Amino acid sequence: MKALESWGRYPRVEQRTQPLVWRTDALPRPGGTLLPHGLGRSYGDSCLNEGGTLLLTSGLDRLISFDTATGVVRCEAGVTLDTLLRLAAPRGWFLPVTPGTKFVTVGGALANDVHGKNHHRGGTFGRYVRRFELVRSDGSRRVCAPDENPDWYGATIGGLGLTGLVTWAEVQLKPISNPYVLQETVPFGNLDEFLVVARESETDYEFTMAWVDCLARGKKLGRGLLYRGNFAPPQFDGLPLAKSHLSHGSGLAVPMDMPAFCLNRLSVSAFNWLYYHRQNGKPKQRLTHYDPFFYPLDAIYGWNRIYGKRGFLQFQCVVPYTTARDALAEILERSSRGGLPSFLSVLKTFGDLPSPGWMSFPRQGVTLAMDFANRGEKTWRLVEELDKVTREAGGAVYPAKDARMSPESFAAYFPRREEFSRYLDPAFSSSFWRRVNPVALPFSLESERGPAASRPQSLLAIR
Amino acid sequence: MKKVLVLGATSAIAQATVRLLAARGASLYLVGRNAANLEAVAQDATTRGAAKVAAQAVDLNDFSAHEAMVDAAYTALGGLDGVVLAHGVLGDQAEAQKSWAATETVLRTNFLSAVSLLTVLANRFEAQKAGTLVVISSVAGDRGRQSNYVYGASKGALNVFLQGLRNRLAKSGVAVVTVKPGFVDTPMTAHLPKNKLFASPDKVARGLLSAADARKNEVYVPGIWALIMLIIRTIPETVFKRMKL
Ligand SMILES: Cc1cc2nc3c(=O)[nH]c(=O)nc-3n(C[C@H](O)[C@H](O)[C@H](O)COP(=O)(O)OP(=O)(O)OC[C@H]3O[C@@H](n4cnc5c(N)ncnc54)[C@H](O)[C@@H]3O)c2cc1C
C-alpha cells in the first residue's frame, strides 16, 4: 500500500498500484477493487481507490494509427494529449476539445468527458471519440461506438473509470491552418456584463473563457477579463510574434511546498487587482501560440504545490441560464465574504450540444470553477454552501474536481445514475463512487478500507 | 543509423529507442518473442514517422534461427547499418543459486544468444565495412556482487566479448558500442523499490542514441554511473567480499 494523492493533494489515501504494459494483456486480479488511473489530473478522489488497486495506464502509451488525410487517430488509452498534439499539430490537426492542461491521458479525458474553451461550439471530448475497446473483469472485450454496443459507449464516456478499462480509443481531430491563435482580451466590470459579452462572443469566437476577480464585491462583483479567440487564418503577417510564443513551456517549476501564509487574502487581492488593471479597461488583441493560449498553467510544473501540504479543494459548478445570474452572484458573494480567497476563478459558458455520455457533467448554462486552499472545517463549510446554491439553482458539480459532494447532491446532479449503475464493472470502484453511493456498495467497504480515520469526522455533520 | 535491426524490441529501453529512431524517419526491423506485443510496437513506430517498419516474432534463444532472421532483415530493409541488441533477462539470483537450469537460462539469453547473433552480424558489417552495433549491457557486469552475480557474469562476459569485437572491427570502420545502464524503471524491475538512481527508459534511450551517433566505445547511462562504478571497482577484494551489496 502506498499513500497517493490526486492533483488537489486532498485526500491522501492508501492503495496499491499495478502498472499496465500491453493492451492485449488480461486485467490483473490482485484482490480488492480496481480503478484505472491516468495522470491523476483529477482534483479530488474520483481517480483514487482507497484500499484497492489503481491500474496505472501510463504504460499503455502507444500510437496505433494516424490518418493525416482524415485526422482520425487511434491510440492506447495512456497516450497523453501532449503526445497527440506533438504528432498532429505539425501536420495541420488539433485536438477537437482540450482541457486546460495537456498532461492528461486519452482514457482520462474520455472517462471524465472533458470540456474545453470551445464547449459552445464543439461540446465535449466524448463527441469525438469514434470508438474504443472496453475490457471488463470477466475477461470480455468489446469495441464500443455509437452504432456498436451503444449502451456501453454511452455508459463509459463520462463513466468515471467504473465500467471497465478502456485500452484504446479512436479520436476525430480537427483541421487547423496554423498553430497560432488570434486572441482578444475584453474586460468586464461585473457579472451582468460578463453574461452579455460572453453570449455575444459565442457567435464569432470558437474559444472563450473568463478569469474572475473573485474578491471584487458590490457593483464590481464578478468583474474580470474575458479571453476569446480563433485559430489564426493561414496568413497572419503584419502581427508581431513574441519570441517566447514560438517555443513550448517555460520550464518553471514550483520547487517545494509553499507555506500556507503565501496565499492569504492580501496576496490574492493584490494579485487580482494588478491582473485586472494591467488591462486598463480596453480590449487587447494579440497573436499567440496555442501552447500558452490553451495551457498557461502547464508552463509552471507542479503549480498545485503552491497550496502547501494540505492541498486545495476545487469547486466547479454549472448552472442553467435561467438561474445563472443570481446563483453565481450568490456563490461569488459567499466566497469573497468567507475570507477564503480563490486564487484562480474561471467562468465559461456551455452550449447545448449533447454529449453521448450518460454521466457527462457539461450541460447548457454557465460554469464557474474556483480553487480554495484547504483550511479544514472553514473551507469545507463554505464549499458545501456553494454546493447547496448550485443544487437549488438546478445546476451540477463536476466529479473530476470534487472531493466532498454529498450522495444527495450527486443523485440530484446525475439523473441517469441508476441506469449507469447497471453497467458498473463489479470489480471496479473508486473512493469517489463509494462516497457518493454509501448504500449501494458492490462489495464490503469495511474489509477494503480498514479503519475509516483519514477523513475529517465532521464531514458528515456538514451534510 | 538509418536501417536498424532491433533485437528484443518489446523491452522498455528498446521501445523508447524505437520511438526516437522512428521520429528521425529511420527504417526498422523489429524482433521480439510475443507477436501481439511486437505488432503494438510496430504500429507505434509507423505512426511516429518511421520510413519503414517490418517485424518478426522469434525466440532468440533458438540460435538456429539467427542466420535466417538476419537475412530477412537485410531483405526487408534493403540492407542494415545499425543494430540495437536489447533482449535480456534479469533472472532470479536465489533461484539461479539453487538450479543450474535457471543459471543456464540467464547465460543463454544474455550472453550466448548475443554472441551467436553478433557472430552473424559482425561478419556482415565487416564485409560491408560500415555500420554500428549497439549492445545493451549493464553496470552489473563491472563487478560480481552476491545479490546478482549470475546476471552480472552474463553481462561481464558480454562486455569482454564486445571489447574483442570492437578491437577486431576497428579497422573495418564498424563501431561497437557497449551501453551500460544503471537501474532503469521498467517492467523488468517493477518489483524493486524505486529510488533516485532509477532512470526512465526514455532517458536511457537518449543516452544510447547519442553514444551510437558519436560512435562511442563504452558508455554509462545516465553518466553518474561511471563514477559510481569507478568507486565500486576500486574497493579492494578483501574489503569487498565482506560487504553486503
Ligand atoms: C490544470 C488543470 C486544468 C484542467 N482543466 C480542465 C478543463 O478545462 N476541462 C475539464 O473537463 N477538465 C479539466 N481538468 C481536469 C482533467 O482534465 C480531468 O480530470 C482529466 O480526466 C484527467 O485525466 P487523467 O489522465 O489525469 O486521468 P485521472 O485523473 O488519472 O483519471 C480520471 C478518470 O479517468 C478514469 N480513467 C483513466 N484512464 C482510464 C482508462 N484507460 N479506462 C477507463 N477509465 C480511465 C479514472 O478511473 C478516473 O475516473 C483540468 C485539470 C488540471 C490539473
Whether residue A369 is predicted with pLDDT greater than 60 in this model: the reply is yes
Prediction ipTM score = 0.93
Local confidence band at B188 (pLDDT 50, 70, 90 cut-offs): confident
Q: Residue A243's pLDDT is what?
A: 47
A457 part of contact set with chain B, CB < 8 Å: no
Question: In chain A, which residue's Cα lies nearest the Cα of B47?
Answer: A65
Position with higher pLDDT, B127 vs A253:
B127
CA-CA-CA-CA dihedral for A396, A414, A49, B183, to nearest 10: -70
Q: Which residues lie closer than 8 Å to A290 by C-beta, 6 or more apart?
A: A85, A89, A94, A179, A180, A181, A231
Quick check: A216 and A311 in contact, CB under 8 A?
no
pLDDT tens digits for range A193-216: 999 999 999 999 999 999 998 888
Check residue A259 and give its pLDDT: 53
Model pLDDT for residues A81-136, shown as the tens digit of each residue: 999 999 999 999 999 999 999 999 999 999 999 999 999 999 999 999 999 999 99
On chain A, the residues whose CB falls within 8 A of the CB of B37 are: 22, 24
Residues contacting residue B144 through CB under 8 Å, at least 6 positions apart:
B152, B153, B156
pLDDT of residue A447: 47
- HSE-up of A102 (CA within 13 Å, CB side)? 21
Give the residues surrounding ligand 1 with Cβ less than 6 Å away.
A 7, 35-42, 46-47, 57, 77, 99-101, 104-105, 107-109, 111-112, 114-116, 160-161, 165-166, 297, 400
Percent of all residues in chain B with a pLDDT value above 90, rounded to a whole number: 94
| pLDDT tens-digit series, residues A9-34 | 889 899 999 999 999 999 999 999 99
User: Is it the case that residue B187 has pLDDT exceeding 90?
Assistant: no
How many CB atoms neighbour CB A337 within 10 A?
A: 10
Count of C-beta atoms within a 10 Å radius of residue B107? 18
Percent of chain B clearing pLDDT 70 (strictly above) = 100
pLDDT tens digits, one per residue of B214-242: 999 999 999 999 999 999 999 999 999 99
Q: Supply the residue whose CA is at minimum distance from atom 32 of ligand 1.
A: A108
pLDDT at B206: 98
Each as own residue / partner, the long-range contacts of residues A80-86 (CB below 8 Å, 24 or more positions apart, any chain) are: A80/A39, A80/A104, A80/A105, A80/A106, A81/A105, A81/A106, A81/A109, A84/A171, A84/A173, A85/A290
**C-beta separation of A372 from A386 below 8 A:** no
Closest CA to A100 of A359, A371, A319: A371
Report pTM. Answer: 0.92
Among A226, A373, A357, CA closest to A309: A373
Q: What is the pLDDT of residues B2-30, one digit of tens each?
A: 999 999 999 999 999 999 999 999 999 99
User: Given a cut of 70, is residue B76 above it in pLDDT?
Assistant: yes
pLDDT at res. A245: 43
If we measure between CA atoms, which residue out of A84, A36, A39 comes closest to residue A62? A84
Q: Which three cell numbers stand for residue A337?
A: 465574504
pLDDT tens, position by position, A141-184: 999 999 999 999 999 999 999 999 999 999 999 999 888 999 99
Distance CA B177, CA B127 (A): 18
Q: Are A400 and A318 in contact (CB under 8 A)?
A: no
Residue B200, classed as helix, strand or coil, is coil
Amino acid identity for residue B96 in this structure: A
Residue whose grid cell is 458539480: A397
User: Which atom of ligand 1 lies at the shortest distance from residue A167's CA?
Assistant: 41
Instruction: Tell me if A226 sits within 8 A of A276, measured CB to CB.
Output: no
